[in-house]
Amino acid sequence: MSEGLGADQREHWRNVYARNPHMYGAEPSEAARHAARVWAERDARTVLELGAGHGRDALWLADQGLTVHATDFSATGLEQLSEAAEKRGLADRVTPHPHDAREPLPWDDASVDGVFAHMLLCMALSTEQIRALVGEVRRVLRPGGAFVYTVRHTGDAHYGAGTSHGDDIYEHGGFAVHFFGRELVGQLAEGWDLDEVHEFSEGELPRRLWRVTMSRPTG
């Protein structure tokens, strides 16, 4: 992905959140509910959400008793998250972190019990950048911890539509999406225990997604 596309997408998301505060509502995603169930089975306490946006999932996860570190490259979204956490009495459980997914994660090795990324990996990231990010997730996740992520896949109606940026990245309506083939899911799971690849639909069109659950091996 070019630096220009990354900068354009950052500005696009800033404007989207500014125009549409809490655009995704307050209810958690089904993917976040799934992640919470997976983590409960593993006695998770501290988790990391990548691409938290205005925080609907981060806030709900904190409501479940988890300590949540929430990252996003949109300062506007994180400001909305912080305000909501204060109002709901969750400021001690939710910590926002401005972060660009193309950079290393600012956490120590094996320092979190779970990682969640709803639609973050299929943003305007190159395959190389996605691989690097998944490597960083593995580094900060404790052995036995679970990583749950969702991505739009190549069976989606918008795959191949709009402006092509190469590397299976297509821009439609101002949003650039990296559509995942099944082969890429398998490649990203190398060195992990791949627990589940679940196909589901969400929103208009509808969007076609995979929910992937994989664990860092304990051995």
- Give the pLDDT confidence of 136-165 residue by residue, as tens digits: 999 999 999 999 999 999 999 999 999 999
Mean pLDDT (10-residue bins), the chain, 219 residues: 58 54 73 98 98 95 98 91 95 97 97 97 95 98 98 96 95 91 98 98 91 96
**Distance between CA 162 and CA 154 in Å, rounded?**
14
Q: How many residues does the chain have?
A: 219
**Distance between CA 165 and CA 173 in Å, rounded?**
14
CATH no. for residue 81? 3.40.50.150
What pLDDT does 95 receive?
97
What pLDDT does 22 receive?
57
**Of 93, 43, 104, whose CA–CA distance to 69 is shortest?**
93
Burial bucket for residue 69 (CB in 10 Å: 0-12, 13-18, 19+): buried
**Residue 104 belongs to what domain range?**
3-215
What pLDDT does 24 receive?
58
- Give the pLDDT confidence of 91-124 residue by residue, as tens digits: 999 999 999 999 999 999 999 999 999 999 999 9
What pLDDT does 8 receive?
62
Residues 106-128, buried b or exposed e (16+ Cβ, 10 A)? Answer: ebeeeebbbbbbbbbbbbbbbbe
What pLDDT does 19 receive?
58
The encoded tokens of residue 13 equal 């998301």
The encoded tokens of residue 65 equal 């008793």
The encoded tokens of residue 5 equal 């596309």
What pLDDT does 174 receive?
84
Could you give the number of structural domains in the chain?
1
What pLDDT does 172 receive?
87
The DSSP symbol for 28 reads: P
